[in-house]
Chains A and B, each alone.
Chain A
Amino acid sequence: MSRRLLNFLLPLGTGVLMVGIWYAIRHGLSEDMKFLLPTPDEIWAALAANSESLSRATLNTTKGAVLGFGFAVVISFGLALILSLSNLIRASLYPYLMILQMMPIIVIAPILVLWVGAGLNSVVIITFLICFFPLVVNTTQGLISTDRNLVELFRMYRANRWQETFLLRVPAALPYFFTGLRIAAVLAPIGALVGDYTAGSSAGDGGGLGFQAIIYSSQAKYPALFATAAVTCVLGFVFAGGVHILSWLSLSKWHDSYHRSDT
């Protein structure tokens, strides 16, 4: 059987198997416990029934995720450029970056609500906080890991700081940058959802998926809750897929990670 066919059939088979197990468990549950695990078709029906509120919530969460992720990419890149300038700058700023990463979101959320209000503002900031760290760490690492021989070449030809940064260090850091971007892309929708759950608001735009989850769980609409989870996963796939395509476009022609010969 060809590799390509196998690559397609294997995940399909895994999926069919898992859905089978799902139905089997559900079948095994006693009648009064069946509400604990809705079947895929029930979830699908809930998705259709709540399509209006879910699509509005998805749009709002996407907005929060894209903005938070976008700000994180831009600001982390700028900060990474500054951090890459010297060991001293890194030593003075790294501990505080760690704190940024360690801050518990559920504690920060009410503070943010106090500062910038519940809703999109808070969601964007929380998404930003979650995405920022892997981006800045990876990009900085990339910017300081430039091949020494290439740096020497640039020095020999009297390259100025601008040339050394943008013709050498930045492109050389791209593979690292994309490693950070892949991690952040998966985190962004989750961050937006958590942000919305902890600091969301139905005021104005009607809230996002996190807020929708609160509503469904309070109304005991369990299939709709599962549908919300499924939509979040799809959103995550879209983000991850987008970054993979970007990464492929920027790296596939030259970087070894796209040309491994192992099987």
Chain B
Amino acid sequence: MSTQSTRLASRIMVAPSVIVLFIWMIVPLAMTLYFSFRIYRLLSPDRTGWVGFANYTWFFKSPEFWLAISNTLALVLGVLIITVVLGTLIALLIDQPVKGQGVLRILVIAPFFVMPPVAAMIWDNLFMHPQNGLLGAVSRAFGAEPILYMEQYPMASIITIVAWEWLPFATLILLTAMQSLSSEQLEAAEMDGASALNRFRYIIFPHLTRAITVVILIETIFLLGIFGEIFTATQGGPGSASTTLPYMIFKQAIVAKDIGRAAAGGIIAVILANIVAFFLMRSIGKNLDA
């Protein structure tokens, strides 16, 4: 409800954001699209020309591609599940009356301030390193051989690192949502004879749906592009065991120096991301209307 002049003003005011974002999206995307149909290798700069879909078919035929897809999915889903489940449990715990809640919260949100290269460094060297890492020492204390985390369980290790980084975010959002639940509702449920478990299932959990939606939306946006942790910790290895789609594209561009293929991979990634985005936005967009 407004007048024509305010509607006009509103269009003018929203325009800069839309225009800059559109350019930021479309120019690199158009260039990537162009490169993806060309031969463009930094190691043999003389060979140029159109190659049709050859760069794309190379991707689809590469076994690494399918591994990368499943690794990407494993990373996103793994981190989402861990952070939502653990986040809920931790939020339930902190929501109880405890001593030093303020300091507690400071400790819990700390990982959020740790930049990805540092997070990877801590885990890769200080914890998961077989000789010098703390976890290796723990294994030896129990008389076991140290586990070669990055070699034997590279994806699980990466998921652990990323989940640690994102756990504070999920916890905080869920905690805030829980604190907004009126205690009268819980007391009413208690009067009605609901057990603690049932109170969680029928009162607390439904109340958290919206918060969980936000966690999933925001985390997915960031998780689809996870790069720094893999780059620092495993370099996508051993072999391709921890190569995700972004990392595979990176390898094509920087290691193999094949810009055409990297571009094709980029376009595939963009299409896949948009499919995810579409479904996510559709299901979540509704949930966000308040």
A, B: real partners: no
A residues contacting B by CB (< 8 A) are: none
B residues contacting A by CB (< 8 A) are: none
